[in-house]
Copies of this chain bind each other. A is one copy, B any other.
Amino acid sequence: MQNFTFHNPTRIIFGEGQIAALDTQVPREARVLITCGGGSIKSNGVLAQVQAALGERASFVFEGIEPNPTYETLMQAVAVARERNIDFLLAVGGGSVIDGTKFIAAALKFNGEPWDILAKQTPVRDAVPFGSVLTLPATGSEMNNGSVISHRANGDKLFFTSDATYPLFSVLDPTTTYSLPARQIANGVVDAFVHTVEQYLTYPVDAKVQDRFAEGLLLTLTEVGPQALAEPKNYAVRANLMWTATLALNGLIGAGVPQDWATHMLGHEITALHGLDHAQTLAIVLPAMLTVRKEQKRAKLLQYAERVWNITEGSEDERIDAGIAATRAFFERMTVATRLRDYKVSGESVATLIAKLEEHGMTALGERGDVTLEVSRRVYELAV
Give the B-binding residues of A (Cβ under 8 A).
Answer: 1-18, 206-209, 212-213, 215-217, 219-220, 223-224, 236, 239-240, 243-244, 247, 252, 255-256
A14 touches B3 (CB 8 A): yes
Q: Is the CB of B208 within 8 A of A223?
A: yes
Contact between A239 and B15, CB atoms less than 8 A apart: no
Q: Are A11 and B16 in contact (CB under 8 A)?
A: no
Contact B5 A256 (CB under 8 A): no
**Chain copies in the assembled complex:** 2
Supplied contacts A2-B15, A14-B256, A239-B256, 8 more A-B pairs, CB within 8 Å: A4-B14, A5-B13, A7-B10, A8-B9, A12-B255, A209-B220, A209-B244, A209-B247
- Closest Cβ of chain B: how far from A37's Cβ, in Å? 26
Q: Is the CB of B6 within 8 A of A11?
A: yes
Secondary structure class of chain A's binding surface, majority of residues: mixed
Contact check, A7 vs B11: say whether CB atoms are below 8 A apart.
yes
A209 proximity list for chain B (CB < 8 A): 216-217, 220, 240, 243-244, 247
A8 with B5: CB separation less than 8 A? no
Give, as a whole number of angstroms, the nearest-CB distance from A76 to chain B.
33
A7 touches B1 (CB 8 A): no
Q: Cα distance A217–B16 when bound, in Å? A: 28
A9 and B166 alpha carbons, distance in the complex (Å): 11
Q: Are A212 and B216 in contact (CB under 8 A)?
A: yes
